[in-house]
């Protein structure tokens, strides 16, 4: 037979596009449209409806509307023509959508005149059902709350734009009203479209030599013959009859099995401000409750408790529909975090609280205690996470983001992920490689072909629906999934909840492979540095929350202080929200980061006032004395961890001049030489007789690189940035600082200036470096370099509840790809008997390299801290202005010293007028066991919660002594729920911890 395959394929494409799809709505009449534009920010629904009914002005299709970030209330009215009696009728409301970009543009929410929401309007979801069937003559009146969100990520992506902030976006209308009609909906034609799409797309994925491909080709050819192009509606059923045979052929027994999960990945802020997400979530949730009513097999999931809480607070009408669908098991809370946060940068406690507040919301509202974690889009996963997931009472993880890695292909789709402490979490990466699956033949075939675990496992998950304002799952996707349920040549598709999927995946794969350590994303590495003030705000908030809880709990137990439960709960949720995977990473528009700065300032003010009130309650009446509070987990200058003592005098370190205009600082433990250029040429550990700085090199060296990645400006730094570097060695001033034992260095470069104060405190083997940068560069990367005379195969970076090791070499592509990585409070490099730590109070990005040692054939190790970048997309002014950093070089440091100094740098002591000594609420007798939280229980029982972990990666014994009466010490999970019987033997509590083990104890108050 002659092969006419390509002829039929091309025929299908044209007929579908030009004749069949347009025949879905074969007849239409225009609606009358009027518009009222809200003068500023969005108004409440009732206000918008009232204004839209009263003060609207006429607007016509073709007219421009919508200043950037504006809200327009459209009122559409019309009458269903009598001749349409018995037909299905829809309103088609096209606000000026670009169907090629399902999210990221204008959107609407349709209301009835009484204020009940109907559904969202999105680029691929423009219809509103009016009647099925209609009688004819019905009056139609609908209101649309339309948001003219500007397109930030355009066809030419990553171009700097001022549209990302209402203050700079201007008032030029962004959209042109495209279609506002009443139209007949022809169900048979719509079904024919889906049939042809499913079979046509499947056909294109099958091998050209396969018989099934030709069966589909012939059936499609017959169906096209059956269509009368002048009467598609009248011949659609006949065409469908030609396809029924190939549509009913069942899948082969070995077919891949896809659990489709209705989903809309909605970034809690990104190319829009937080307030817009409140509305995006409402629109999508309205769409989904409407779709659930129409489609009995469909299941939709939504993660991020914060987004649920927004609906509850801001859109009670939508919430009512959502809760009904939840009760029916169809609209399913998934995941168990407050937001889908970054997981690299949140500190130990914050990472834990993401789960506490996320899980608690679902438990309190719906009685749902999920065991899966849902993080499809997060930029890499810290190796502390498995233990946190388990301690929250969960045990499964889903993400697909690692498929975005640019260098290496991850070897598994279903596996056990092992964290630093050994906890293993059953993990699935959907092989469909997207969180916006649309049920296309290409996606389904890709999932099946791509699945790395085939042969031993058969199930994968496909998050299905348009995210970010795309409106979620569409009726077309549901219709396609129905045809793919059991279809020869395709993977099978079933709507399921994530937990139903995980049950099957676990059951079929009892011995999955294991991946140990972090899930490093080989992309978006610059998110550890971009928007430095947002990062500082996060770190500062985490430290202040620790202090506020500690001192409020201590004062509550000791002085009857009123513990601010509700206030702390609210502040925690604010801080957790800002750890969302586009806020803390610095990848949002200017509006988001400008607001975040203000929010962090307000958070700091509130927490400072809690801390101050609690400490004053503990310090006693002012008596001329000063009490020093130590919220760090280690004794500091004789003040116990978590306690307070009367202030002591302190010594000083000496400073002498060098001939070259530099200075020598010496405190008897460390002798630091700063040359006439303000660079550290020596840091000599006097007891160990070891030099810290690599021979012939200089530490505290600022280096600046050009930084213009190929794409994703705020997210990415590409490896070639290192090829060009300028060392900032010219100093304008190298002079004694204000404090004793300190030196001040001032440099200018480009349009920027840096002022550094280097201080050697008395009694500490630590050089403090306080850096203030007035930054006015663009597309540059500023690093602070410390070449260390240490030979090291690997180095440690602090992570949640421990640290992770990474190699200093680049033997394989996996190691080479980690050219920029995350640390929390410290990076540590060491030889077995001597090491160096670099600690910080606000930075996360760093790189570590090795160099041949001058004078011999050994190697040295250079640690470089990433201070600032200046990308121009999505915020064209990223990081411009003033920044402050505190770093410290700690020669001779063990990991234990690094842990301690990291805490000290982030938790400075506080001096309060008073006279009282304050004994810590709990004392631990082993410095390796580090307290991360002391607080009152969230159930307001008055019980004290203490959380601690082994911090050095070794086994530890410790005794915990409560310094207040307790009746029991009960092991608990992160949600403070008892895990086991009370500790036997009462108090003090003796403990044995495995490496990095995390423990939560509930100390029940006795009397």
Alpha carbon separation from 472 to 268, 313, 776, 924 (Å, rounded): 15, 21, 41, 50
**CB under 5 A: which stretch of 371-379, 583-591, 695-703, 995-1003 binds Zn ion?**
371-379
Q: Report how far residue 890's alpha carbon sits from residue 730's, in angstroms, rounded to the nearest whole number.
A: 25
Buried b (16+ CB within 10 A) or exposed e, 340-356: bbbbbbbbbbbbbbbbb
Q: Using the minimum distance from each CB to Zn ion, give the nearer residue, 267 or 768.
A: 267
**Minimal distance, residue 525 CB to Zn ion, in Å:** 17
Q: Report how far residue 725's alpha carbon sits from residue 729's, in angstroms, rounded to the nearest whole number.
A: 12
For position 847 contacting Zn ion by CB under 5 A, the verdict is no
Residue nearest to Zn ion (CB): 377
Alpha carbon separation from 424 to 8, 526, 799 (Å, rounded): 52, 29, 17
Q: Report how far residue 526's alpha carbon sits from residue 779's, in angstroms, rounded to the nearest whole number.
A: 12
Q: Please, what is the Cα angle at 679 between 678 and 680, to 5 degrees?
A: 125
Cα–Cα nearest to 883, from 840, 849, 848: 840
Helical pair 187-205 and 475-483, crossing angle rounded to 10 deg: 60
**CB under 5 A: which stretch of 264-272, 589-597, 643-651, 781-789 binds Zn ion?**
264-272
**Minimal distance, residue 265 CB to Zn ion, in Å:** 6
Using CB atoms within 10 Å of the CB of residue 144, give its burial: 0 to 12 exposed, 13 to 18 middle, 19+ buried. Answer: buried
| CA 554 to the chain's CA centroid | 33
**Minimal distance, residue 435 CB to Zn ion, in Å:** 8
**CB under 5 A: which stretch of 350-358, 373-381, 538-546, 890-898 binds Zn ion?**
373-381
Q: Using the minimum distance from each CB to Zn ion, give the nearer residue, 104 or 721.
A: 104
Q: Report how far residue 709's alpha carbon sits from residue 581's, in angstroms, rounded to the nearest whole number.
A: 20
Catalytic residues: 377
Total number of residues binding Zn ion (CB under 5 A)?
Answer: 2
CB neighbours (10 Å) of residue 810? 14
**Minimal distance, residue 197 CB to Zn ion, in Å:** 28
For position 418 contacting Zn ion by CB under 5 A, the verdict is no
**Minimal distance, residue 741 CB to Zn ion, in Å:** 47
Q: Using the minimum distance from each CB to Zn ion, give the nearer residue, 467 or 892.
A: 467
Contact predicate 560/502, CB 8 Å: no
Q: Using the minimum distance from each CB to Zn ion, give the nearer residue, 145 or 377.
A: 377
Q: Report how far residue 969's alpha carbon sits from residue 955's, in angstroms, rounded to the nearest whole number.
A: 21
**Minimal distance, residue 582 CB to Zn ion, in Å:** 6
Q: Report how far residue 13's alpha carbon sits from residue 640's, in angstroms, rounded to the nearest whole number.
A: 76
Alpha carbon separation from 611 to 223, 614, 637, 642, 938 (Å, rounded): 75, 5, 21, 13, 18
**Minimal distance, residue 4 CB to Zn ion, in Å:** 45
**Minimal distance, residue 463 CB to Zn ion, in Å:** 12
DSSP structure string for 399-454: --GGGG-SS---S-SEEEEE-TTS-EEEEE--TT--SSB---HHHHHHHHHH-TTB
Q: What are phi and psi of 191, to 5 degrees?
A: -65, -35
**Minimal distance, residue 266 CB to Zn ion, in Å:** 8
785 contacts: CB under 8 Å, gap ≥ 6: 699, 700, 701, 702, 703, 862, 863, 864, 865
Query: For 779-892, where are the E strands, in sequence order?
Result: 780-788, 794-799, 802-807, 821-822, 826-831, 834-840, 845-852, 859-869, 881-891
Q: Using the minimum distance from each CB to Zn ion, give the nearer residue, 349 or 377.
A: 377
Helical pair 348-366 and 565-577, crossing angle rounded to 10 deg: 110
User: Mapping DSSP to helix (H, G, I), strand (E, B) and coil, where does residue 260 land?
Assistant: strand
Q: Using the minimum distance from each CB to Zn ion, give the nearer residue, 266 or 889.
A: 266
Cα–Cα nearest to 982, from 996, 997, 963, 962: 962
Q: Residue 190 half-sphere exposure, CB side, CA atoms within 13 Å?
A: 13
Q: Using the minimum distance from each CB to Zn ion, give the nearer residue, 401 or 533.
A: 401
For position 267 contacting Zn ion by CB under 5 A, the verdict is yes
Q: Using the minimum distance from each CB to Zn ion, give the nearer residue, 378 or 630.
A: 378
**CB under 5 A: which stretch of 374-382, 499-507, 648-656, 784-792 binds Zn ion?**
374-382
**Minimal distance, residue 374 CB to Zn ion, in Å:** 12
400 contacts: CB under 8 Å, gap ≥ 6: 376, 377, 429, 430, 432, 433, 434, 435, 463
Q: Report how far residue 827's alpha carbon sits from residue 969's, in angstroms, rounded to the nearest whole number.
A: 34
Q: What are phi and psi of 923, to 5 degrees?
A: -125, 135
Q: Please, what is the Cα angle at 341 between 265 and 847, to 5 degrees?
A: 120
Contact predicate 444/484, CB 8 Å: yes
Can you give 865-891 as a three-state secondary structure string? Answer: EEEEECCCCCCCCCCCEEEEEEEEEEE
| Strand 998-1005, strand 944-950: pairing | antiparallel
Contact predicate 395/389, CB 8 Å: yes
| Strand 372-374, strand 396-398: pairing | parallel
Structure tokens at 15: 């007929």
Q: Using the minimum distance from each CB to Zn ion, give the nearer residue, 377 or 943.
A: 377
**Minimal distance, residue 274 CB to Zn ion, in Å:** 14
Q: Using the minimum distance from each CB to Zn ion, give the nearer residue, 376 or 741.
A: 376
**Minimal distance, residue 340 CB to Zn ion, in Å:** 7
Q: Using the minimum distance from each CB to Zn ion, give the nearer residue, 458 or 581.
A: 581
**Minimal distance, residue 782 CB to Zn ion, in Å:** 27
For position 777 contacting Zn ion by CB under 5 A, the verdict is no
Q: Contacting Zn ion (CB under 5 A), which of 377, 673, 707, 798?
A: 377
253 contacts: CB under 8 Å, gap ≥ 6: none
For position 342 contacting Zn ion by CB under 5 A, the verdict is no
Q: Using the minimum distance from each CB to Zn ion, give the nearer residue, 274 or 683.
A: 274
User: Mapping DSSP to helix (H, G, I), strand (E, B) and coil, where does residue 844 land?
Assistant: coil
Per-residue string for binding with Zn ion, 454-483, x by CB under 5 A?
A: ------------------------------
Binding site for Zn ion (CB under 5 A): 267, 377
């Amino acid at each position: 037979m002659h092969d006419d395959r390509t002829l039929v394929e091309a025929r299908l494409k044209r007929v579908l596009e030009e004749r069949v799809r347009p025949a879905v709505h074969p007849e239409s009449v225009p609606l009358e449209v009027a518009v009222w534009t809200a003068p500023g920010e969005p108004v409440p629904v009732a206000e918008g409806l009232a204004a839209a009914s009263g003060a609207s002005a006429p607007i016509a299709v073709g007219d421009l509307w919508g200043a950037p970030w504006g809200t327009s209330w459209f009122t559409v009215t019309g009458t269903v023509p009598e001749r349409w009696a018995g037909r299905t009728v829809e309103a088609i409301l096209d606000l000026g959508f670009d169907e090629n970009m399902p999210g990221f543009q204008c959107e609407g929410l349709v209301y009835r005149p009484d204020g009940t929401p109907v559904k969202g309007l999105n680029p691929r979801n423009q219809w509103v059902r009016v009647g099925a069937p209609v009688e004819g003559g019905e009056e139609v009146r609908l209101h649309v709350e339309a948001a003219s969100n500007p397109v930030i990520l355009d066809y030419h992506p990553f171009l700097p734009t001022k549209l990302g902030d209402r203050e700079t976006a201007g008032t030029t209308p962004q959209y042109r009203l495209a279609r506002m009609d009443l139209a007949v909906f022809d169900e048979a034609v719509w079904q024919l479209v889906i049939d042809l799409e499913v079979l046509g797309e499947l056909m294109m994925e099958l091998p050209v030599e396969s018989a099934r491909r030709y069966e589909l080709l012939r059936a499609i050819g017959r169906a096209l013959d059956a269509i009368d192009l002048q009467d598609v509606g009248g011949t659609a059923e006949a065409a469908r009859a030609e396809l029924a045979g190939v549509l009913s052929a069942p899948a082969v027994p070995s077919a891949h099995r896809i659990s489709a999960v209705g989903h809309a990945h909605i970034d809690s802020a990104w190319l829009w401000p937080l307030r817009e997400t409140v509305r995006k979530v409402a629109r999508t949730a309205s769409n989904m409750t409407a779709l659930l009513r129409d489609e009995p097999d469909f299941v939709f999931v939504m993660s991020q408790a914060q987004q649920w809480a927004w609906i509850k607070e801001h859109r009670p009408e939508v919430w009512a529909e959502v809760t009904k669908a939840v009760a029916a098991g169809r609209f399913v809370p998934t995941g168990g975090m407050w937001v889908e946060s970054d997981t690299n940068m949140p500190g130990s406690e914050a990472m834990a609280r993401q789960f506490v507040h996320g899980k608690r919301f679902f438990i309190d509202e719906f009685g749902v205690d999920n065991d899966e974690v849902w993080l499809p889009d997060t930029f890499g996963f810290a190796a502390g996470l498995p233990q946190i997931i388990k301690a929250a009472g969960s045990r499964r993880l889903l993400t697909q983001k690692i498929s975005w890695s640019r260098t290496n292909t991850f070897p598994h789709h279903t596996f056990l992920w092992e964290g630093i402490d050994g906890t293993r979490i059953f993990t699935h990466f959907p092989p469909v490689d997207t969180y916006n699956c649309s049920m296309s033949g290409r996606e389904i075939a890709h999932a099946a072909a791509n699945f790395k675990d085939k042969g031993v496992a058969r199930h994968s998950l496909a998050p299905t629906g348009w995210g970010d304002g795309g409106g979620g799952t569409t009726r077309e996707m549901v219709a396609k999934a129905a045809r793919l349920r059991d279809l020869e040549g395709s993977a099978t598709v079933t709507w399921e909840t994530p937990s139903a999927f995980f049950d099957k995946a676990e059951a079929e794969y009892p011995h999955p492979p294991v991946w140990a350590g972090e899930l490093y994303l080989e992309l978006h590495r610059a998110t550890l540095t971009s928007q430095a003030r947002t990062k500082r705000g996060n770190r500062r908030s985490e430290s202040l929350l620790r202090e506020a809880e500690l001192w409020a709990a201590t004062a509550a137990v000791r002085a009857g202080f009123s513990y601010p439960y509700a206030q702390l709960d609210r502040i925690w949720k604010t801080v957790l929200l800002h750890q969302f995977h586009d806020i803390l990473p610095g990848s949002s528009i200017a509006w988001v980061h400008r607001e975040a700065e203000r929010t962090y300032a307000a958070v700091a003010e509130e927490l400072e006032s809690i801390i101050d009130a609690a400490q004053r309650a503990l310090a006693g009446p002012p008596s001329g004395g000063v009490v020093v509070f130590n919220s760090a987990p280690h004794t500091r200058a004789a003040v116990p961890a978590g306690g307070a003592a009367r202030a002591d005098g302190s010594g000083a370190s000496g400073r002498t001049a060098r001939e070259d205009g530099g200075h020598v600082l010496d405190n008897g433990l460390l002798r630091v030489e700063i040359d006439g250029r303000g660079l550290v040429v020596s840091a000599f550990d006097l007891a160990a007789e070891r030099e810290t700085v690599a021979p012939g090199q200089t530490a505290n060296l600022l280096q600046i690189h050009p930084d213009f990645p190929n794409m994703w400006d705020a997210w990415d730094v590409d490896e070639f940035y290192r090829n060009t570097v300028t060392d900032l060695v010219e100093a304008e001033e190298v002079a004694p600082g204000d404090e004793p034992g300190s030196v001040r260095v001032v440099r200018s470069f480009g349009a920027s200036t840096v002022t550094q104060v280097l201080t050697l405190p008395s009694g500490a083997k630590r050089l403090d470096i306080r850096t203030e940068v007035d930054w006015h560069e663009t597309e540059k990367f500023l690093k602070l370099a410390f070449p260390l005379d240490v030979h090291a195969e690997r180095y440690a970076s602090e992570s949640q509840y421990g640290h992770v090791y990474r190699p200093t070499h680049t033997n394989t592509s996996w190691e080479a790809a980690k050219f920029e990585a995350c640390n929390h409070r410290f990076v540590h490099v060491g030889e077995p008997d001597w090491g160096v730590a670099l600690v910080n109070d606000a930075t996360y990005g760093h790189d570590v390299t090795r160099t041949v040692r001058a004078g011999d054939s050994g190697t040295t190790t250079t640690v470089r801290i990433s201070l600032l970048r200046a990308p121009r997309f999505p915020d064209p002014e990223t990081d411009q202005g003033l920044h402050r950093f505190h770093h410290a070089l700690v020669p001779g440091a063990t990991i234990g010293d690094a842990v301690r100094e990291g805490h000290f740098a982030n938790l400075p002591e506080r001096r309060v007028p008073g006279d009282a000594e304050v004994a810590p609420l709990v004392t631990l007798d082993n410095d390796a066991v580090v307290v991360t939280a002391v607080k009152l229980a969230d159930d307001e029982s008055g019980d004290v919660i203490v959380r601690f972990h082994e911090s050095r990666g070794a086994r530890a014994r410790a005794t915990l002594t409560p310094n207040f009466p307790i009746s029991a010490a009960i092991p608990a999970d992160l949600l403070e729920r008892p895990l086991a019987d009370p500790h036997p033997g009462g108090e003090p509590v003796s403990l044995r911890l495995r490496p990095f083990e995390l423990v939560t104890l509930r100390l029940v108050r006795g009397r």
